[in-house]
Structure 1
Amino acid sequence: MADGLSSKEVAERLTISPRTVDGLVERILRKLDFSSRTQVASWVTASAVS
């Protein structure tokens, strides 16, 4: 997600279904209290700099 990949691209890399990726993304968003994949990517980038 932090690399800007689509669900389909992530699914292909992990050899899982895009629906599984969508579910995992939704869980991540909920746990972090974010509303978009962009927020997650920004958070990961900021965390890597610290």
Structure 2
Amino acid sequence: MLTPPESEVARLVAAGHTNKVIASMLVISPRTAQGHVEHILAKLGFTSRTQIVAWIAENQRDRQA
């Protein structure tokens, strides 16, 4: 559902990083990081970064089961 860059950004959001830190880590602009977060929220029907964190945690549990 998510593109590879969006998946990476989602994992970094779940790790508690800000858009600015994500941008620095991925060597992209803060605006690009923000755009990825906005696309993730829209694709998943979420309204907050907290929902991304919960979604990542649930997916990790599913993979371990």
Structure 2's unaligned 5+ residue stretches are: 1-12
More helix by share: 2
Give the RMSD, CA atoms, in angstroms: 0.6
Q: What secondary structure is seen at the aligned counterpart in 2 of 1:5?
A: coil
Could you tell me which runs of 5 or more consecutive residues in structure 1 were left unpaired when the two chains were aligned. Answer: none
SS in structure 2 opposite 1:42?
Answer: helix
Q: Distance in 1 between matches of 2:37 and 2:18?
A: 11
> Counterpart of 1:14 in structure 2: which amino acid?
L
Aligned length, in residue pairs: 50
The share of aligned pairs that are identical, in percent, is 46
Residue by residue, what CA displacement relative to the aligned partner does 1:1-50 show, whole Å, maximum 9, x if unpaired?
11010000000000111010001100000000000111001110011112
TM-score calculated relative to the size of structure 2: 0.74
CA distance, structure 1, for counterparts of residue 55 and residue 24 of structure 2: 24
